[in-house]
């Protein structure tokens, strides 16, 4: 196998599009009075996968309409342009092996750079006390049993996983032999001597709500992809933030991108597919590429209905609850208390990273709250959230009291266009659903990071958009 990455020849693409172009011409004539346009392809969602699919199709002459529910392009690529240091609230790391992403970056002249170095080290805040990562193993309040005392709390889960990843290839997770690993992630904790202390520690950076509810196979797959992505060196960032990439992709398209168009129905009608939005507007196309996350796709009516197992997968595959927040400080409180500015904590704030810019070693602090703490945060009003950040920071790092300015809080869980950071698998779901996640339904094709087989994250979104385009061309 390997990372399957190929482009169709131009001849093959044009042959594939010929039928669609013909039907477009006919329907445009038939409806010329109303000037109701029929498109070759409607792309639902202007995130990376949708923009990339549109880019590939447009290059081959297809007529395309992109419908986007929010008031911006980019989806989970979202640079906080109004926050000092313009940090990314979503995807930011471009791996060295992100072949498709890097190819588009090059074509559009988007600049990449190394991540500026933040101050070294990490403060560990455990149950009301502080130490540093360097001192953790010898720290008198370290509650771990002697044999694992030296493992930093954020590395506990990783250390419990098999040293040799049983997944040889990037798509091995879909092979029947891999199903033996489709078990609760918590099963691995037994070797660490599972305890409440360990559970509390691993929950801080867990990519889900509980280790019982996460498939170990899904995590092994992520680890396998990560190993591949890091095999050629550290990832890079887009200069000015990752939204510069999606902005450039959108600007390079000639197709219309309609924003504030929340798709609510995709209905097959003869050889046309009618896509209807929440404001009552509707559009027709020969094909639809739907890139919305499952978390919102489950609320889109699709007719004829999807096969039962596919519908079940869409309804049940979970998304990681995640909230991010940003603050700056009037003074460098970390110089006052002598601890590293970046923090791993057992507080509701979980992890707080000091992000550097090219000008400053600490340009802004980025808080990252996942899982149940994100849900708890979402239950608060904005004023309560701000108060919680200020009070918790004053408790964890007393030297920060009175010095913090909060700039932004963004919940991916509450954000109606995503309802979560990314999809993950519950134990048994990979076995139950297999590769159904990417099955086309008649002329409706599914893309988005959740439908990628080989890559994940940003590159997974590109891979999925490319695969959906191939499906259309090969029909
Ligand atoms: C906090 C965070 C950090 C991350 N860090 C990284 C990283 O460092 N590296 C990496 O590789 N990946 C990272 N990722 C993942 C990466 O950002 C995503 O995998 C990728 O951006 C997903 O692109 P997509 O096109 O699949 O989905 P999306 O970007 O979600 O695009 C879907 C689009 O559909 C729109 N939409 C939703 N519902 C409707 C509807 N009903 N009608 C019309 N439009 C609709 C949405 O508004 C959105 O624009 C991160 C993600 C998060 C949240």
> In this structure, are residues 205 and 157 in contact, taking their beta carbons and an 8 Å threshold?
yes
The residue contributing the CA closest to ligand 1 atom 20 is 458
User: How many structural domains is the chain composed of?
Assistant: 3
CB 113 within 8 A of CB 245: no
- Of 390, 411, 432, the last residue of a domain is 411
Minimal-distance CA residue to ligand 1 atom 9: 93
Q: Of 421, 448, 47, 70, nearest to 242 (Cα)? A: 47
What confidence score (pLDDT) does residue 10 get?
34
Q: DSSP letters along 256-280, please?
A: EEE-S--EEEEEEETTEEEEEETTS
418 within a domain of the structure (yes/no): no
Are 309 and 450 within one domain?
Answer: yes
In a shared domain, residues 448 and 332: no
Ligand 1 contact, 171 CB (< 6 A): no
Which of 386, 411, 436 is the last residue in one of the domains?
411
- Confidence (pLDDT) at 231: 87
446 within 8 A of 470, measured Cβ to Cβ: no
Same domain, 141 and 165: no
- Cα separation, 157 vs 446, whole angstroms: 32
Whether 417 lines ligand 1, by a CB cut-off of 6 Å, is yes
Does the beta carbon of 419 lie inside 6 Å of ligand 1? Answer: no
pLDDT at residue 36, rounded to an integer: 66
**Distance, CA 79 to ligand 1 centroid (Å)?**
12
**Please, which residues have CB within 8 angstroms of residue 14's CB and are 6 or more apart in sequence?**
60, 61
Q: Are residues 227 and 251 in the same domain?
A: no
287, part of any domain: yes
Tens digit of each residue's pLDDT, the chain (475 residues): 233 333 333 333 333 343 333 333 333 333 433 346 899 999 999 999 999 999 999 999 999 999 999 999 999 999 999 999 999 999 999 999 999 999 999 999 999 999 999 999 999 999 999 999 999 999 999 999 999 999 999 999 999 999 899 999 999 999 999 999 999 999 998 888 888 999 999 999 898 888 999 999 999 999 999 999 888 899 999 999 999 999 999 999 999 999 999 999 999 988 899 999 999 999 999 999 999 999 999 999 999 999 999 999 999 999 999 999 999 999 999 999 999 999 999 999 999 999 999 999 999 999 999 999 999 999 999 999 999 999 999 999 999 999 999 999 999 999 999 999 999 999 999 999 988 988 999 999 999 999 999 999 999 999 999 999 999 998 7
Neighbours of 53 (CB within 10 A): 28
172 lies in which domain range?
155-232
Residue 393 belongs to a domain with what CATH number?
A: 3.90.660.10
Q: State whether 202 and 255 are in the same domain.
A: no
**Does residue 70 lie within any of the structural domains?**
yes
CATH number at 274 reads: 3.50.50.60
CA distances, 315 to each of 60, 141, 293, 308 (Å) = 34, 44, 11, 10
**In this structure, are 164 and 226 located in the same domain?**
yes
Residue 9's pLDDT is 35
- In the reported structure, the alpha carbon of residue 353 is separated from the centroid of ligand 1 by a whole-number distance in angstroms of 22
Residues 6+ apart with CB under 8 A from 375: 209, 321, 413
């Amino acid at each position: 196998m390997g990372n399957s990455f190929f482009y169709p020849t131009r001849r093959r693409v044009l042959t594939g599009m010929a039928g669609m172009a013909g039907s477009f011409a006919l329907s445009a004539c038939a409806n010329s009075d109303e000037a109701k346009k029929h498109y070759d392809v409607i792309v639902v969602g202007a995130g990376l996968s949708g923009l990339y699919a549109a880019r590939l199709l447009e290059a081959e002459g297809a007529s395309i309409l992109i419908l986007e529910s929010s008031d911006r392009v980019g989806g989970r690529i979202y640079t906080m342009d109004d926050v000092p240091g313009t940090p990314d609230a979503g995807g930011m790391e471009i791996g060295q092996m992100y072949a498709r992403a890097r190819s588009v970056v090059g074509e559009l002249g988007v600049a990449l750079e190394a991540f500026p170095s933040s101050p070294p080290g990490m403060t560990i805040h455990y149950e009301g006390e502080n130490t540093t990562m360097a001192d953790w193993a010898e720290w008198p309040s370290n509650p771990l049993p002697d044999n694992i005392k030296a493992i930093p709390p954020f590395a506990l889960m990783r250390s419990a996983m098999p040293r040799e990843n049983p997944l040889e290839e990037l798509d091995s997770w879909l092979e029947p032999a891999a199903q033996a690993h489709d078990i609760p992630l918590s099963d691995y904790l037994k070797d660490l001597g599972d305890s409440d202390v360990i559970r509390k520690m691993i929950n801080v950076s867990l990519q889900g709500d509980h280790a019982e509810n996460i498939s170990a196979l899904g995590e092994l797959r992520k680890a396998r992809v990560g190993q591949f992505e890091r095999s050629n060196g550290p990832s890079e960032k887009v200069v000015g933030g990752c939204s510069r990439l999606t902005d450039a992709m959108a600007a390079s398209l000639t197709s219309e991108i309609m924003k504030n168009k929340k798709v609510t129905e995709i209905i097959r009608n003869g050889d046309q597919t009618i896509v209807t939005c929440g404001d009552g507007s509707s559009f027709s196309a020969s094909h639809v590429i739907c890139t919305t996350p499952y978390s919102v796709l489950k609320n889109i009516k699709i007719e004829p209905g999807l096969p039962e197992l596919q519908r079940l997968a869409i309804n049940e595959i979970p998304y990681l609850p995640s909230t991010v927040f940003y603050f700056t400080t009037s003074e460098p409180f970390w110089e006052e208390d002598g601890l590293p500015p970046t923090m791993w904590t057992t507080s509701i704030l979980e992890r707080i990273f000091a992000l550097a810019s090219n000008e400053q070693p600490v340009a802004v602090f980025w808080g990252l709250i996942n899982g149940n703490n994100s849900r708890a945060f979402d239950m608060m009003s904005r004023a309560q959230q701000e108060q919680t950040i200020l009070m918790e920071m004053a408790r964890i790092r007393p030297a920060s009291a009175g010095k913090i300015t909060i700039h932004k809080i963004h919940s991916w869980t509450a954000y109606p266009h995503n309802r979560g950071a990314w999809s993950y698998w519950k134990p048994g779901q990979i076995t139950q659903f297999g590769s159904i996640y990417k099955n086309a339904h008649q002329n409706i094709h599914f893309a988005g990071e959740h439908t990628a087989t080989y890559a994940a994250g940003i590159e997974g979104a590109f891979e999925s958009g490319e695969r959906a385009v191939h499906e259309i061309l090969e029909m």
